[in-house]
């Protein structure tokens, strides 16, 4: 062994499923006297219907407003216990978490179980309407009032047919949010918020046996409910679609998007690596060529958006002042063609492996919160059915090769089948790529 031999990376756990179907996963880490509680419900905006978009996320807000036996805002008692807490909704799942001092674990589990079992008696029309307005503010703040904030809506709407649940964003359309009916809340809760459709992780300063006892005690009494049927949908592109969106921006930006493998599917990790070698850091190909050498771009980014029933790969390039989008697109296409023809270099693969290992290790530093160990265990359990997938996940990156990355790029990053969106300053549609069709999003 050399002094720089690989660090062992592991995320050990114990899993049991309660009689009502609730998966419970426990991970011990006694470095800091805190415990992370993390609950995933396997429901997201992909479970919504056209015309009802944004419902899953609005529902998440309601989960903090009170439940039958604690009929008041959830932040007060948890904050008083020193907890951090939050929740989030994406296309595929909704998660809720608390990080509490070890001495407050009972409180966190009492409250999580109360809202899983007894939310509806506490839900009032007034709370619903207040949170609907808060969500409309969230939408204005994070999408409508932010430069390029509507670009992803335009992209997803172009990538997917209108009845595909990934064609809308999780925040939903403002029109749908305004039209939401209080009466729909009950059915949504009964369908999706039940032990059979949930997964609980306790991670941190707690003994495994005690953690299971507490989980049984607080959650064991909840009726199981039924696991909803999986959402099935498919999408594809047969040509390049060019779009233009006018926005309150100073500098135009080009977005490129392709359909790509679902999360954990073959090619998913390879495209994640391709995104890194194209746009992550100054060594990345697009950065080096467009920002560093030619100086025609201000910034570049790329990412494999891994999702449960299908992914998409997206790239964005902001034009430097005076640079034409047509020239920029040609330069981007040249880099894509080089990658698909020749694949990554040996140096790029070595670098990618070092970075993957470090990133997996860094992700083991926190027990709670978004992306902490508890959240990862739930992701693997809910989306993969296997909390032990951590090691296999890392192996996907370790085992990726020059050939497999090139093959994935070749297969998915076709110049003939993609969406290219020009976001341009207001009144400057003429600066878009030739043949771009105006899109309206709001």
Instruction: Enumerate residues 355-384 that contact other proteins by CB under 8 A.
Output: 355, 357-359, 361-362, 364-368
Nearest-angstrom CA–CA distance, 442 and 434: 24
Which two structure tokens, joined as six digits, stand for 145? 């009032």
User: Is residue 311 a contact residue for other proteins (CB under 8 A)?
Assistant: no
Supply 116's token pair.
């899983």
Nearest approach in angstroms of CB 163 to other proteins is 28
Q: How far apart are CA 80 and CA 82, in angstroms?
A: 5
Is residue 330 a contact residue for other proteins (CB under 8 A)? no
Q: Among residues 243 and 251, whose Cβ is nearest to other proteins?
A: 251
72 binds other proteins (CB under 8 A): no
Q: How far apart are CA 191 and CA 283, in angstroms?
A: 48
* 81, 154, 269, 329: which one binds other proteins (CB under 8 A): 81
CA neighbours within 13 Å on the CB side: how many for 124? 10
Of these, 18, 24, 26, 34, which contacts other proteins (CB under 8 A)? 34
Binding to other proteins (CB under 8 A) within 82-111 occurs at 82-84, 99-104, 106-107, 110-111
Examine residue 338 and tell whether it contacts other proteins (CB under 8 A): no
Single residue of 125, 140, 178, 186 touching other proteins by CB under 8 A: 140
DSSP 70: B
Q: Which of 251, 314, 409, 419 binds other proteins (CB under 8 A)?
A: 251
Piece in contact with other proteins (CB under 8 A), picked from 32-40, 258-266, 267-275, 411-419:
32-40
Does 20 help bind other proteins (rule: CB under 8 A)? Answer: no
How does DSSP classify residue 197? G
Cα R_g (the chain), whole angstroms: 23
* Binding of other proteins by 142 (CB under 8 A): yes
CA torsion sign, 98 to 74 to 96 to 211?
Answer: positive
Query: Looking at 291, 317, 400, 420, which residue binds other proteins (CB under 8 A)?
Result: 291
- Which span sits near other proteins by CB under 8 A: 262-270, 277-285, 381-389, 431-439? 277-285
Question: Binder to other proteins among 17, 49, 248, 434 (CB under 8 A)?
Answer: 248
Backbone φ and ψ of 90, nearest 5°: -130, -165
Contacts with other proteins by CB under 8 A: the residue count is 86
Residue 130 binds other proteins, judged by CB under 8 A: yes
Site string for other proteins, 382-421 (x = CB under 8 A): ----------------------------------------
Question: What are the distances in angstroms from CA 222 to CA 44, 135, 260, 374?
Answer: 22, 30, 39, 22
Q: Does 281 bind other proteins (CB under 8 A)?
A: yes
CB under 8 Å to 334, separation ≥6 — which residues? none
Tokens for 163?
């009845």
Give the C-alpha distances (Å, rounded to integers) separating 235 from 265, 312, 415: 16, 11, 17
On whether the CB atoms of residues 44 and 94 are closer than 8 A, the answer is yes
Tell me which of 75, 121, 186, 399 binds other proteins, using CB under 8 A: 75
Could you tell me the smallest distance in angstroms from the CB atom of residue 137 to other proteins?
4
Instruction: Tell me the C-alpha distance between 226 and 192, whole Å.
Output: 8
């Amino acid at each position: 062994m050399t002094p720089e031999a690989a660090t062992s990376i592991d995320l050990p756990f114990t899993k049991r499923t309660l009689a009502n179907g609730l998966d419970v996963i426990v991970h011990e880490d006694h470095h800091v006297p805190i415990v992370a509680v993390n609950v995933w419900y396997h429901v997201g905006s992909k479970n919504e219907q056209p015309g009802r978009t944004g419902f899953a996320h609005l529902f998440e807000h309601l989960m903090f407003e009170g439940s039958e036996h604690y009929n008041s805002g959830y932040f007060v008692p948890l904050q008083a216990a020193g907890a951090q807490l939050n929740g989030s909704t994406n296309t595929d799942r909704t998660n809720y978490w608390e990080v509490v001092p070890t001495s407050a674990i009972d409180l966190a589990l009492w409250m999580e179980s109360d809202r899983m079992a007894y939310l509806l008696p506490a839900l009032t029309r007034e709370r619903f309407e207040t949170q609907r307005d808060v969500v409309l503010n969230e939408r204005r703040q994070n999408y409508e009032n932010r430069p390029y904030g509507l670009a992803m809506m335009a992209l997803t709407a172009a990538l997917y047919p209108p009845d595909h649940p990934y064609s809308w964003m999780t925040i939903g359309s403002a029109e749908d949010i305004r039209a939401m009916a209080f009466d729909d809340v009950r059915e949504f809760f009964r369908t999706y918020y039940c032990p059979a459709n949930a997964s609980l992780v306790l991670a941190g300063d707690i003994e495994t046996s005690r953690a299971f006892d507490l989980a049984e005690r607080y959650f064991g009494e909840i009726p199981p409910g039924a696991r909803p049927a999986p959402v099935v949908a498919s999408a594809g592109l047969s040509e390049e679609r060019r779009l233009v969106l006018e926005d309150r921006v100073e500098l135009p930006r080009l977005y490129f998007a392709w359909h790509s493998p679902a999360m954990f599917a073959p090619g998913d990790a390879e495209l994640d690596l391709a995104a890194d070698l194209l746009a992550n850091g100054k060594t990345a190909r697009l950065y080096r060529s467009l920002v560093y050498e030619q100086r025609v771009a201000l910034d570049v980014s790329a990412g494999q958006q891994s999702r449960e029933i299908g992914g998409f790969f997206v790239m964005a390039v902001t034009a430097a002042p005076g640079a034409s989008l047509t020239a920029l697109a040609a330069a981007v296409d040249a880099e894509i063609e080089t990658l698909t023809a020749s694949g990554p270099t040996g140096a790029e693969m070595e670098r990618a492996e070092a970075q993957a290992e470090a990133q997996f290790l860094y992700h083991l530093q926190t027990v709670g919160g978004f992306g902490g160990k508890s959240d990862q265990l739930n992701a693997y359990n809910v989306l993969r059915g296997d909390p032990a997938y951590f090691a296999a996940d890392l192996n996907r990156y370790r085992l990726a090769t020059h050939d497999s990355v090139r093959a994935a790029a070749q297969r998915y990053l076709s110049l003939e089948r993609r969406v290219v969106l020009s976001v341009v300053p207001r009144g400057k549609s003429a600066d878009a790529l030739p043949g771009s069709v105006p899109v309206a999003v709001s």
